[in-house]
Amino acid sequence: MSVTDFGRQQPQQKLAWGHKAYEEYVEKFFFTKMLGQGSEAIIEHITELSKNSKGEVGAFFHLISRITGGGVVGDNQLKGRERTLDSHWQRVNFDQLRNGIKNKGRLADQKSVLQFRRPTRKAMALWLADTWEDQAILTASGISYAFNTDGSPRTTPEGQDPWTELEYANDVRPPTANRHFRWDATEGLVAGDTSAVEAADLPVYDMLPEIKARAATKRMTPLRLAGKDYFIVLAHENTMARWYRNPDFRSAIVNADVRGEANKIFTGAIVTMNGLVIHPYARVYNTLGAAAGLKWGGGNVNGSRTLVLGAQALALADLGVPGWEEEDEDYKNRYGVSINKMGGWLKPQFPSSYDGGSVEDFGVMAIDHAI
């Protein structure tokens, strides 16, 4: 029987398969449309290592923040009185994630090597997209990688490593005080506190104008597109269902903003109103999978954490295309393929001059509510 020798695959062939896996991952990755650089990007996309202002090498990027107050008056000397932007530099820690698939053997497969490799590549691309989507939501929501996005404990497959061992897992930070709110059915937006969520605190249309006002007054940097300012709202599918059942929301849709802009962030959005681009997304953090007693509001209320994203809400270190490796063993009877990717996530934080100088999430607001 003639078989292909994985060990003799040319480097160019392996690189081509890695590129193809990356293309498939990009196509499946929900957040692809939000990647970019600077104030027009929801997710700061870092694709190569660089030096910061101190000469340190790493996955660095520069926050686009406002300079407030001060200035030099009249002909007073400016030399020596300039302001520094050193603290604007942010570093994203990164790590390597690998996974592999091995067949049972030539007889069990009864397929050619090419037939085994192609579906495996697609499965690996989907695994990578699923992995980074979960990590993006957990990072933005300030939830440990020890949990799934439905609040259940994350189970690590036998023989593999938990995500909590990733180099950037310890960088996951809970929402900061002035970016964390709770929707109260009576009082509206109040300070965030999951233990205070009640079953009646369901999402209604009135949330949306309050969210927009709070993001603006907290001076979160919006996305500036075609001369207009926008914030992205990521809401769980159950949250969207609640909004649709609200007559005020349905009425507002009739007068919603036209989504005619060509920018890719509008792709998949259900509606754009009052500068909020609303995306339903099933991975938005919720407690539907949490055990009784471990949910919100004393342990028995199902809730969700709606995310409001402005510019540079997250940062992704995305270093190179996935590596693709192949091997054989047992006299070339059993074949295996693996994929490896270097990257990492960060939710940027920065001292906010509009919150007394306290360190706050730069471009994310978390809104907790019942569902």
pLDDT per position in the chain (371 positions), as tens? Answer: 334 444 445 566 666 666 677 788 888 899 999 999 887 899 999 999 887 767 777 899 888 666 667 788 988 888 888 776 555 788 999 999 999 887 766 655 555 554 666 778 888 888 999 999 999 999 999 999 999 999 999 999 999 999 999 999 999 999 999 999 999 999 999 999 999 999 999 999 999 999 999 999 988 999 887 788 999 999 999 999 999 898 888 887 766 665 545 566 667 777 788 889 999 999 999 999 999 999 999 889 999 999 999 999 999 999 988 888 878 777 677 778 888 999 999 999 988 877 888 899 999 999 999 99
Identity of residue 317: A
Structure tokens at 205: 């249309």
Q: For the CA atoms of the chain, what is the radius of gyration? A: 23
Element (H, E) at 23: helix 11-28
How many residues in the chain? 371
In DSSP terms, 323 is beta-bridged to 340
Q: What is the DSSP letter of 247?
A: H
159 Cβ contact list (under 8 Å, min separation 6) = none
